[in-house]
Structure 1
Amino acid sequence: MNLLDGKLVSAKIKEDIKQEAAAFLAETGRKPHLVAILVGNDGASETYVASKMRNCELVGFESTNIHFDTSISEGELLAKINELNADGGVDGLIVQLPLPKHIDPERVTEAIDYRKDVDGFHPVNLGRMQRNLPCFIPATPYGILLMLAHYGIDTSGMHAVVVGRSNIVGSPMSILLARNSNPGNCTVTLTHSRTRNVKEEVLRADIIVAAIGKKHFITADMVKEGAIVIDVGINREMSDRTKSGYKLYGDVDFEQVAPKSSWITPVPGGVGLMTIVGLLKNTLEAAKGSIY
């Protein structure tokens, strides 16, 4: 068993980004600039946004966190997005999900200029991704690709099974692994809550991407010997044994599955750290004007 170490890989890539950001500053006189909009006081969302802002500072980016109360109307939020779209000093723009029920997340996503959509959720970016054209790839799938590339894992010809079909991870991951690229060139099966006999499908996998949001959903009896196991799950449970008051668990039963795997990501310390890297790389490319 080999560990796909998100801590190690993210540190290496962030150092590369830091050097590129310094070169960008020297050339243009400004830093790449990421703006994050947070609506409400969801604890997990506040933690995620704070982490993104902190990582921007570490690599030499400018970052701005705009925090609105839940009482903000959809129209007011869309007006702010339009204002930031027109601001030449803003390179990347993200709106942290989830949003209050009275705000349509699809309208918000589509309102963001696709050239600043560093989350990679805009339909233009998703469509370009499917056609293997220049685009912003959703940060978590992008981070997974960067991790596989770092370890030199050749996925060509492998059978990949993705568990979970969300628009943020599962669906784009299935497209990316099937594309004519490396990592990629896999035969892909996308499973979900309506899939019959998920265990049978997962047992066929050379690569498993677990993104279903259920603690220890993938067990040892679902994994064949030598499989590559990528755990996207972040499931929080209250704990009196940690400073934070909670403990994180993945979608994979790591202790039981790891001995059967050729490569596996831990939780924490795996895909979550790579998601931040994907966002930073997208922001840097947005500053360079790579997507037009």
Structure 2
Amino acid sequence: MSAQVIDGIAVANLILSDTAARAAQFAEANGRKPCLATVLVGDDPASHTYVRMKTNRCRTVGLDSRRHQLPETATTADAVAVVSTTAADDTVDGILVQHPMPAQVDEQEVFEAITPAKDVDGVTGASFAAMALGHNGFSSCTPAGIMHLLDAYDVDPAGQRAVVVGRSPILGKPVGMLLLARDATVTYCHSKTVDLAGVVREADIVVAAVGRPELIMGSWIKPGAVVVDAGYNPGNVGDVEYATAAQRAGLITPVPGGVGPTTIAVLLAQTVKAAGTPRATRRSTK
């Protein structure tokens, strides 16, 4: 068998089309466009590229963007100050703090300076708790994008065994929570997991989110399983050995062109959602 390839670009375009329509409605009603502010610390080339992609996409769907750049020598306090000032600005609807940051910066402390009502990237503890408990809030963008991909291809997680390889706070952990909320039976795997191959072989849905190129061998994939590769490593290589996995899976995401496009689309969609939140509600979440 050969897997059906999940077209992340097509799914993202559907999200972006809806986002553009809602952004236009907001602009007409409020006399301004929804606004996403980005905060970038340091000189990491990949981070600069990602921020540029996101700001360009803002423009194409009718959002404004503001960029705050801090030097490589910036401290945690410097970054927190910028984020706090931006969070207090009522003309900014969403805040994205690009990561990774330089080693001397405490990323989580910087994230926590984001007002929950503007945490459109879903990186704060408040957003994770809201998502895990099923409360109103913003999901981490990549996990939410993964759920969009599953829905677009009529994959119902209910009753399925889902294996998440990776436990980062903005990808592995939250995607497991979202799958659990959809009645999947979720197993988290990580560097201490015994017999990773055996666990993966039992999975109906595999989410690879560990950041190690081709860690998951294609021969481990259960025939007909859904494989979502959220890894992106040098050389356009994912966390799954694609060529072999594609011969065994039922559905599989490519790298690139799978998970990545939906991540940006969800970020912008959540920014427009934040813009539409009444001002009184925003202040009450601070």
Aligned to 1:285: 273
Paired residues of 2:204 and 2:226 also in contact (CA < 8 A): yes
Equivalent position SS for 1:94: strand
Corresponding position: 1:232 with 2:230: yes
1:13 and 1:75 mapped to 2: Cα distance? 36
Aligned to 2:72: 70
Aligned to 1:143: 145
Q: Which runs of 5+ in 2 are unaligned?
A: none
- What is the 5 A alignment of 1:210-249? 210-236=208-234, 247-249=235-237
1:167-214 per-residue CA deviation (whole Å, 9 max, x = no partner) reads 1111111111001xxxx2100000000000000100000000011111
Aligned to 1:174: 176
Aligned to 1:39: 41
1:75 and 1:218 mapped to 2: Cα distance? 39
Equivalent position SS for 1:261: coil
Equivalent position SS for 1:248: coil
1:71-116 per-residue CA deviation (whole Å, 9 max, x = no partner) reads 2232222222121111000000111111122221121111111111
Structure 1 residue 224 displacement after superposition: 0.9
Corresponding position: 1:7 with 2:1: no
2:217 and 2:102 mapped to 1: Cα distance? 35
1:12 and 1:285 mapped to 2: Cα distance? 16
- What is the 5 A alignment of 1:96-115? 96-115=98-117
Count of aligned residue pairs for this structure pair: 278
- Runs (4+) of structure 1 exceeding 4 A deviation are none
Q: Which runs of 5+ in 1 are unaligned?
A: 237-246
- What is the 5 A alignment of 1:78-227? 78-179=80-181, 184-227=182-225
1:266 pairs, out of 254, 268, 276, with 254
Paired residues of 2:228 and 2:252 also in contact (CA < 8 A): yes
Corresponding position: 1:24 with 2:12: no
1:175 and 1:95 mapped to 2: Cα distance? 23
Structure 1 residue 69 displacement after superposition: 0.9
Identity of aligned residues (%): 40
1:237-290 per-residue CA deviation (whole Å, 9 max, x = no partner) reads xxxxxxxxxx21011111111121111000010001111011111111111117
2:53 and 2:65 mapped to 1: Cα distance? 11
1:81 and 1:172 mapped to 2: Cα distance? 23
Equivalent position SS for 1:38: strand
Please tell me the residue identity of whatever aligns with 2:132.
Q
Structure 1 residue 4 displacement after superposition: 1.0
2:177 and 2:117 mapped to 1: Cα distance? 21
1:187 and 1:107 mapped to 2: Cα distance? 32
2:157 and 2:77 mapped to 1: Cα distance? 45
2:15 and 2:79 mapped to 1: Cα distance? 33
